[in-house]
Amino acid sequence: MGITVIFLDENVNSVIFGFIPAGRANHYMSSLKAGSIVKVDRFEVARCTSMYKIIDHTFLIRFISPTIVDEVITGAPEINLQA
């Protein structure tokens, strides 16, 4: 159980998903808002098992205790939520 987050990488035009374990969810909930642009540091990259695969990517971003999430306020690209 946990929270699944979809990350869009504008530099390489790809999508990868992230996973926040249920025990860490409360710590990150205030930093994650629908449609927001965030910078994520200090995370772990893991192979995505087919059981939990929601997109066609080999890896996932796993939030761990030192993970930091900061919202990008200025200079961020705009996400078209209608597409």
Q: Are 25 and 2 in contact (CB under 8 A)?
A: yes
Q: What is the mean pLDDT of residues 50-63?
A: 76
Indicate the pLDDT class of residue 36, thresholds 50, 70 and 90: confident
The yes-or-no verdict on residue 83 having pLDDT over 80 is no
- For the chain, the C-alpha Rg in angstroms (whole number) is 13
Structural domain total, the chain: 1
Q: Does residue 20 lie in a domain region?
A: yes
- CATH number of the structural domain spanning residue 31: 2.40.50.140
Q: Does residue 56 lie in a domain region?
A: yes
The pTM assigned to this predicted structure is 0.71
- Give the domain extent around 35: 2-71
Q: Does residue 7 lie in a domain region?
A: yes
